[in-house]
Every structure is written in C-alpha cells, then in structure tokens.
Amino acid sequence: MSSPCSAMAYHHDSRRIFVGQDNGAIMEFHVSEDFNKMNFVKTYPAHQNRVSAIVFCLTSEWVISTGHDKCISWMCTRSGSMLGRHYFASWASCLQYDYETQHAFVGDYSGQITLLKLEQNTCSVITTLKGHEGSITSLWWDPVQRLLFSGASDHSIIMWDIGGRKGRTLLLQGHHDKVQAICYIQLTRQLVSCSADGGIAVWNMDISREEAPQWLESDSCQKCEQPFFWNIKQMWDTKTLGLRQHHCRKCGQAVCGKCSTKRSSYPIMGFEFQVRVCDSCFESIKDEDRTSLATFHEGKHNISHMSMDISRGLMVTCGSDRIVKIWDMTPVVGCSLATGFSSR
C-alpha cells in the first residue's frame, strides 16, 4: 500500500475488500475463490485525509466512506467516479448505513451524529442527534428494530429509538474509559460493548428501561431553596453564601451538595455504578432497583477494535498492545448456530 491503512470493509458474497488509507484513498481488491490471492481492482480518491470508515453497498454499487477531511463521500464502484460529498464541522469518525432506505449515520469528533439520506448525486440532512459530551467512537445500526447505538469518549452509550417514539433515548453508563466498539444482538436483545481499558459489557436490552431525565436549570437549590453562587441578588437578600450546583441523576433537579449527599446505582436508567442522587430519590430507590442489568468482564488488554460472529457466538478483539483475542461469548449472550436461541 502507498500509505498506512486506517479502515477496511470486506463484502463476503462478492469477496471484495475496500481498504482506506491515511492519504484519503480507498483501494479495492478482489480475493480469489481459494483465498490464496488478492487482485487489485482500482483506487478511489475518496478523501483528502485519513479514511475513518467504509461501507460497500452491492445493490447500488456504491462505496461510502467518512474521513478526517470532515466529510462523507459516496463513489460509484463501476466507474470509480465521485457521486457526492457532504461536509461536517468536525472530523467524521464512524459510519453506519441502512441499505434499504439509503440513510447514513455519521458520528463526528464534536459528539454529534448526523442522519443523511443519500441520493445518486446529492444528499439531504434529516436530523442531528446530540447527547454525547465526547467524540463519537462507535456506531451500530439495527435495521430490524430501527435502533441506533452510539459509543463515545465520554465513557457512555446512547440508544436512539429512530423508528419508534420520537426523541426516545436511553443512556447506558458502565464503562470507565472511552467506548471503542459496540454490537447489538437482535436475536437475544443484548448489546455488547468494549472500552479502551479492556472492559467488556453485555447489556440486557430486553427489558423496559427508563429514560434519564433532562437536567433542570435553577438559580437556587430545588430542595432547600438556598441560592447558587451566581445568584447574587438572593445571596445579598438572605445574607448567605452561594452554593455549588449539582444535579440528581434520577429526577434531574438542580440541588446543592447538602441535599444530594447520597450515591446509588440505578440500572433501569442505565447507571450501573454509583451516581449522585438527591436524598429524597435515594429513599425511593429499593434494593431490587439496584440489581445490575448488565454483566461486566475483563478483557485484560486495551481494546481498540471488536467484531462479533453472532451466528457462532464468537467475538474477536484487538488492541494497541498488538494482541488479538478470540472469545467464546455463548455463556453470556446465549445464542449460537447450533441452538439458534437459548435462554440466558
């Protein structure tokens, strides 16, 4: 290769490999039937900078890609010509594509996800999803349930219900480092996620979860009514010092430190480890409400990529420590080719 490789897509049925490079080009190869030879097909001048993700669509003969030149491009694999480009405000970091509806989901370094409808020579922005506080590191689209999952450098995962109720989002917090890869298993309604510190989580999505509340804004504590430190007028009137503002993760109210002394996990809302809650919410959380809705496993290497063979219940992880590990996931994901489905 003329430049270091940065992304790859393999199409199993046609045995075509598309390799993205640091110089922005994508090279296509065709693998021989016995897998002993790889023939060069063509080079696509897709980007001006590093290619971050590639998707190949056989029906339209498009190679769709995102890059660090802040754009998504789609090119015709028959002619090798550029069909269209769309630019973002930040580096485009990851990509998912709905083959049926020609919708592309692009995550970027600002923490936004843009939903685009791609046409032959143009595209339209459908919506922008905002919820992460760090750059988007991984995306997974489930076309059956029409769910989009996003992992980010803010250590969290968000499930976006694209096909269902408008604006429904579920927050999942159980990692202690940036989420590097996610995979949703539609058969068992489970989400597998891996983080940079080697953490592997298997989330049970087959239950009715609660949305985390929007944080409320207030100039004084919504429990004891003491002023926050920027509320000069109330501080002057009451001759009191202003307090620091916090938020209860369960009700979303703005509270002071004295009214939120407790910490609790609340898995039904996605909080698998202890977070700040106000004292009244703490009293309302029962012991059974703290039962974990995910299992956590130690990968023992810093995971940078993950891929799952759902039919065989196998997962492969690789890291910057130059180690590749293959995992038997059948004990935790409960599905394999032999059984089709088994109860967890």
Token pair, residue 19, equals 């390799």
User: Is the Cβ–Cβ distance between 108 and 99 less than 8 Å?
Assistant: no
Q: Please state which of the ranges 134-143, 281-290, 301-310, 330-339 shows the lowest mean pLDDT.
A: 330-339
Kindly indicate the confidence band of residue 342, based on its pLDDT and cuts at 50, 70 and 90: very low
| pTM for the model | 0.86
Question: In the prediction, which pLDDT does 241 show?
Answer: 79
- Convert the pLDDT of each residue in 105-137 to its tens digit: 999 999 999 999 999 889 999 999 998 999 999
**Closest by alpha carbon to 139, among 175, 170, 164, 114?**
114
Question: In the prediction, which pLDDT does 315 show?
Answer: 94
Task: Give the mean pLDDT of 290-308.
Answer: 90
Question: In the prediction, which pLDDT does 159 show?
Answer: 94
User: Is the Cβ–Cβ distance between 254 and 277 less than 8 Å?
Assistant: no
Q: Is the pLDDT of residue 153 over 90?
A: yes
**Which positions ≥6 away from 239 have C-beta within 8 Å?**
none
Kindly indicate the confidence band of residue 339, based on its pLDDT and cuts at 50, 70 and 90: very low
Q: How many CB atoms lie within 10 A of CB 161?
A: 16
Share of the chain above pLDDT 70, in %: 96
- Looking at residue 227, the DSSP 8-state letter turns out to be B
Alpha-carbon gap, residue 249 to 254, rounded angstroms: 10
**Closest by alpha carbon to 292, among 279, 273, 276?**
273
Task: Give the mean pLDDT of 202-223.
Answer: 88
Alpha carbon of residue 66 to chain centroid: 16
Q: Is the pLDDT of residue 234 over 80?
A: no
Question: In the prediction, which pLDDT does 289 show?
Answer: 85
Task: Give the mean pLDDT of 297-301.
Answer: 90
Average pLDDT, rounded, for the chain: 90
Share of the chain above pLDDT 90, in %: 66
- Convert the pLDDT of each residue in 33-62 to its tens digit: 999 999 999 999 999 999 999 999 999 999
In a 3-state reduction of DSSP, which class is residue 139? strand
| DSSP one-letter string for 174-193 | --SS-EEEEEEETTTTEEEE
140 vs 24, 55, 121, 149, 180, CA distance in Å? 23, 13, 26, 5, 12
Q: Which residue has the tokens 């298997």?
A: 202
Kindly indicate the confidence band of residue 166, based on its pLDDT and cuts at 50, 70 and 90: low
